[in-house]
Amino acid sequence: MKRIGLIGFGYIGAGIYDRIMTQLALGLEVAFVHNRTATKLTHVPTDLILTDLADFARYKADLIVEVAHPDITRQYGAAFLGQADYFILSATALADATLQAHLLETCKQHNTQLIIPHGALIGVENLVESRSRWQSVTITFRKHPNNIDFSLTTITPTQITQPTIIYDGPVRKIAQLFPRNVNTMVTCALATVGLDVCRAVLIADPSLNLAIAEVEAIGHDGAHMMTRKSVPVMGVSGNEMLDSTFYSLLQAAQVRPAGIGFV
């Protein structure tokens, strides 16, 4: 059994917990659950509730899963990687180059892995396997203003009445401005040309009822890759994020469900 520590118990965290607890054939078990608001954990057995993250090591998790906030990685990421593999949904934390370097050095010291799920990114394996080929990569998000968290900006979403480019520039900067919205942009940048070279475009469009993610990668040798994904939205994320995150978790835990396998 691979023991999973779970941090965050919103829609995705609670969904992961329920799947692990009910799909016993996967060979996973919950080591602990931590959530900032303890009242959400009323149906979680008390022996699985981790109140203070500083005590995580005594629960002996093999894989710690963050589905909460980038601050978790900033505060505890290195400690987690000193004990276990660490799976982070809030990839915008890695826009901090110093933190990223520290986490990767910790991985080397303790032979652990920092794992980033693909999220809304289509074809991440193709992007990674051709990483040395790419000359430029652009990732574009199109969303309704109500599905963008503007809390760290001076923008008032109700004033946006037509398609408006909110940001156009390096991924590293947009990760600081919209940390809840652009985890997939950070993933794309890390998988390809880096956060300072990968171009991010965020478009607020009040006519949309879907979230659209587009990636265009152009190679030094003339290679050209384009993907486009449109999905309904829940909050700031596409409604496929639970399925996507759980599938990535299974890969991270090296679990292969019965039937046809895709690698």
Q: pLDDT tens for residues 98-142?
A: 999 999 999 999 999 999 999 889 989 899 999 999 999 999 999
Determine the structural domain holding residue 229 and report its residue range: 124-237
* Domain match, 151 and 95 both: no
- The structural domain count of the chain equals 2
Average pLDDT score over residue span 48-52: 97
Confirm whether 51 is domain-assigned: yes
Structural domain includes residue 145: yes
Say whether both 170 and 183 belong to one domain: yes
User: What is the percent of the chain where pLDDT is above 90?
Assistant: 88
Which of 83-97, 98-112, 186-200, 238-252 has the weakest average pLDDT?
238-252
Stretch 187-214: mean pLDDT, rounded?
Answer: 96
200 touches 192 (CB < 8 A):
no
* Region for residue 165 given its phi and psi (left: phi exceeds 0; alpha: psi -120 to 50; beta: otherwise): beta
CATH number where 199 lies: 3.30.360.10
Backbone angles phi, psi at 85, to 5 degrees: -75, 150
Assigned domain for 261 exists = no
Say which amino acid occupies 156: T
pLDDT digits (tens, 9 = 90+) for 131-189: 999 999 999 999 999 999 999 999 999 999 999 999 999 999 999 999 989 999 999 99
Is-contact 137 215, C-beta < 8 A?
Answer: yes
Average pLDDT, integer, range 182-197: 96
Does pLDDT of 33 surpass 60? yes
Does the structure show a pLDDT above 80 at 236?
no
CATH code for the domain of 41: 3.40.50.720
**Is 209 within the bounds of a domain?**
yes
E strand intervals along 9-155: 28-34, 63-66, 85-88, 114-115, 134-143
Which of 111-115, 181-185, 218-222, 238-242 is the least confident region?
Answer: 238-242
* Distances from the Cα of 21 to the Cα of 59, 122, 135, 186, 198, angstroms: 17, 29, 44, 31, 39
Q: Which residue has the tokens 């995580």?
A: 56
pLDDT at 244 over 60: yes
Q: Are residues 155 and 201 in the same domain?
A: yes
